[in-house]
Amino acid sequence: MEKLLVVDYGGQYTHLIARRCRELGVYAEIISQDLELVGANLEGVKGIILSGGPRTVTTDDMNYTFQNNLRLMFDNNVKALGICFGHQLLALYHGAKLEPGGNPEYGQTVINVIDNHALLSGLDRTQSVWMSHSDEVRELTSDMIGLAASNSNRIASFADKNGKYFGLQFHPEVTHTDNGLSVLRAFLRNICCYEEEWKPEDQVGDILQYINETVGDSKVLMATSGGVDSTVATVLLRKGIGERLFCVFVDNGLLREGESEEVSKSFQNMGFENFVVVDASDEFLMKLEGVEDPEEKRRVIAETFIEVFERKAKELQQEYGQFEFLGQGTIYPDRVESAATGKDTAVIKSHHNVRLPDWMKLKLIEPLKDLYKDEVRLVGLKLGIPEKLIHRQPFPGPSLAIRISGPVSREQLKILRHADSILQEVFESQTFYPSIWQSFCVLLPVRTVGVMGDERTFDQAIVIRSVESKDAMTASVSKLPWETLLLVASRIANEVKGVNRVVYDLTSKPPGTIEWY
């Protein structure tokens, strides 16, 4: 299979570069800047993109691995595109001069296209782009052509006269760069000669082959949450190995209104026979009693889940025999972010799926490990999974516990569930609902004075949170119809006992996060 490599230098948009290339029909894979390429790494590779990064390019970056990789790439006719940090790195390596700091360009910037090169053929002669840099390429060599410059006459793009490598100081992958996708398309199609042939939904056959070759005749145990990734991975495994798949759904007592019943019914309707529901509500709530800190809540919930899952796994193993694999709905960002693909890349989060107890010497099977969430949804639709399950909004692992400020109790859960059910009922009936990434309520134990009838009230507040996003790495506040927000607020204040005030969160990510706690 043809593929493009994206070298991770710690830039915040590295994932976005890979996703944009996939959207253009080319399979893109993120690799560490420390990975030493060999012939096998370059099989099917026609192009490589060097990502942005948060630091200054130095001569230390011109190490053996980098130089050897470039030589190998060019010997194999692999084209290179540098973006931001990568643009500066390629330029410095080939003899151009860099100028450090002093006069940064951040945000929306106007550039002028000064050469009719294929790379920038989709841009207007005067083009608005997104910049994020202080260091810059100041002087090109005689082997390079300047393709674009900013209004202050600073080099915004260049090309090697021999057509081997190219540089962009701006970010074509972000939506803030007008016509930016045309630059990536030109690099992939016109320069690297990739065909538009990769579609995530066409990968089902390859995934099933991976499952069959990996699992063989063994049994697989799967912790199923009912979320999009978990559901699609579970259906793929069942399609691959049939009833040798055993699913465990743990009801932690922290789920949304009717969620446990809804998930169970959905899997019954899809014909799953070995699907077990474990009601551990009392155990989770007892362990959470008095816990206020959000991180402590996460720790308690994670450890309790492991204990519950372990007990049920032992029971199933005694009844059905040895399990050799644990199925997980791990997706591509989970793997990349957990492993941190570059030495300058932060470990964004530890692996969020099931942590194996010591006694369970199981091997992992991860059918979705090479896909992004939007790609997982396309695979799910290809498999015939009901659209309601595929388009479910993301739900945090710690569930409603991290949407309640302070200790979790049955009474607080009852209030939050009721408010959230009203929100979902109203929003789901609106045409804007498919555009929302996540919408939910947060319960604040901050009491405010209100009036209901002729009585003074002193009750809690509910926060409505609704955001739009592609992958949750950034998110913007949903600009919802005012009448809809007023309807939700009115119903919550009037119908939910214990709440007398409703507010709408106007904070995007960044600076906030999607979840509150």
Instruction: Provide the annotated active-site residues.
Output: 84, 171, 173
Bridge partners of 458, per DSSP, are: 449
The rounded Cα 24 to chain-centroid distance in angstroms is 18
Tokens coding 21 = 């290339």
Nearest CA to 440 out of 456, 455, 428, 424 is that of 424
Pairing of strands 499-504, 455-468: parallel
* Distance (Å, whole) CA 4 – CA 188: 9
* Distance (Å, whole) CA 438 – CA 428: 12
- The dihedral over CA atoms of 363, 368, 371, 374, expressed in degrees to the nearest 10, equals -140
Bridge partners of 319, per DSSP, are: none
Element spanning 286, H or E = helix 281-288
CB neighbours of 193 closer than 8 A, spacing ≥ 6?
46
Instruction: Please state the three-class secondary structure of 46-76 as a single string.
Output: EEEEECCCCCCCCHHHCCHHHHHHHHHHHHC
* Contact status, residue 470 vs residue 14, Cβ threshold 8 Å: no
Tokens coding 288 = 């959470």
CB neighbours of 453 closer than 8 A, spacing ≥ 6?
none
- Type of residue numbered 436: I
What sign does the dihedral 182-4-342-470 (CA atoms) show?
positive
Nearest CA to 84 out of 114, 54, 46 is that of 54
Q: Would you tell me how many other CB atoms lie within 10 Å of the CB of residue 173?
A: 27
Element spanning 467, H or E = strand 455-468
What sign does the dihedral 362-367-368-370 (CA atoms) show?
positive
* Distance (Å, whole) CA 70 – CA 480: 49
* Distance (Å, whole) CA 215 – CA 280: 30
Nearest CA to 390 out of 275, 235, 274, 204 is that of 235
